[in-house]
Amino acid sequence: MQKRKLGNSGLAVSTLGLGCMGMSFGYGPAADKQEMIALIRAAVEKGITFFDTAEVYGPFTNETLLGEALAPFRDEVVIATKFGFKDTGDGSGRWNGLDSRPEHIRAVAEASLKRLKVEAIDLFYQHRVDPNVPIEEVAGTVSDLIQEGKVKYFGLSEADAQTIRKAHAVQTVAALQSEYSLWWRAPETEIIPTLEELGIGFVPFSPLGRGFLTGKIDTNTHFDPTDFRNTLPRFSQEARQANQALIDLLGTIARNKDASPAQIALAWLSAQKPWIVPIPGTTKLHRLEENIDSVNIILTAEDLKEIEEAASKITIQGDRYPEHLQKMVGKS
């Protein structure tokens, strides 16, 4: 698999990464650990070098999973993890708000280093912007960790353009991770132009719309009670029915390309900018292989124009998050 550089940072990763959250958290019960170790190692063998995790996934178990799975390949891969949430401290696995105080960032870094079994964290994201801690202070703390050799690159997640600029002025931001796909295109307005101007890479999470853009979810789909999609307005039955028009569009283009809707969605993302690296997640080998094959699909300027014209006529229904979580994400 070819590699891409995340902006001007010099950090080179595979054209497609692997989001690992769903292996431990979020989309129902955690998957079998040994099966996930095998899946992660299969990803490495198939050319993926970029893996995404966070302390909150599990919590903690996802980092431990990656630490074990990637130990034999440490010099071949880039592992991204995140800080910024506050543990309740009662052993429940629940999180209580945000915490990007310098002492907390340092504590998270030390714990993540141990769980990941690494000497330095390749890419350390602030998971969500903490309104109680100036972003300059956050960037300065990560800068110190970089100087100490404990972190290699600094990233932000779901930050707005102003926050990105302020952080970048203190410590080079290598990458922004935020949601971006054919059904969430808000970053195109202000975020992507800002990243291009500053030379920052973009790592879209949920590039397949949390599974919706695969075409395998419809109004009859029932999620596990612990699947957080049950709480998302965009996954209400009404929204799913309304948003089926986008799946129909992807299906039409996919048939013409002898591809799947998921592959077209990923190929479209990769075609937007040469410094965009999507990180679709999966727990299934055949889906991993399907996603990897998307890098071989070339969308011509004519293809992209056709997608743009058709997509512009479709209004996506439903908010990304329920109201209480919406305030924790960037404005765009």
Please give the chain's pLDDT, 332 residues, in tens: 999 999 999 999 999 999 999 999 999 999 999 999 999 999 999 999 999 999 999 999 999 999 999 999 999 999 999 999 998 666 666 788 999 999 999 999 999 999 999 999 999 999 999 999 999 999 999 999 999 999 999 999 999 999 999 999 999 999 999 999 999 999 999 999 999 999 999 999 999 999 999 999 999 999 999 999 999 999 999 999 999 999 999 999 999 999 999 999 999 999 999 999 999 999 999 999 999 999 999 999 999 999 999 999 999 999 999 988 887 776 43
DSSP string, 227-243: BGGGG-GGGSHHHHHHH
Average pLDDT of the chain, as a whole number: 95
Q: Phi first, then psi: give them for residue 330, nearest 5 degrees.
A: -60, 160
- Number of residues that this document lists for the chain: 332
Structure tokens at 255: 């048939």
pTM: 0.96
CB 107 within 8 A of CB 141: no
Q: Is 57 a catalytic residue?
A: yes
Q: What is the pLDDT of residues 44-67, one digit of tens each?
A: 999 999 999 999 999 999 999 999
Burial readout 122-158 (b: 16 or more C-beta within 10 A, e: otherwise): bbbbbbbbbeebebeebbebbbebbeeebbbbbbbbb
197-237 pLDDT tens trace: 999 999 999 999 999 999 999 999 999 999 999 999 999 99
CATH topology (fold) of 3-208+272-296: TIM Barrel (3.20.20)
In the block, tokens 């908010």 appear at 319
Q: What residue has token string 């011509």?
A: 300
Q: Single out the catalytic residue among 57, 125, 153, 180.
A: 57
Q: What is residue 140's three-state secondary structure?
A: helix
Give 48's Cβ-side CA count (13 Å radius): 28
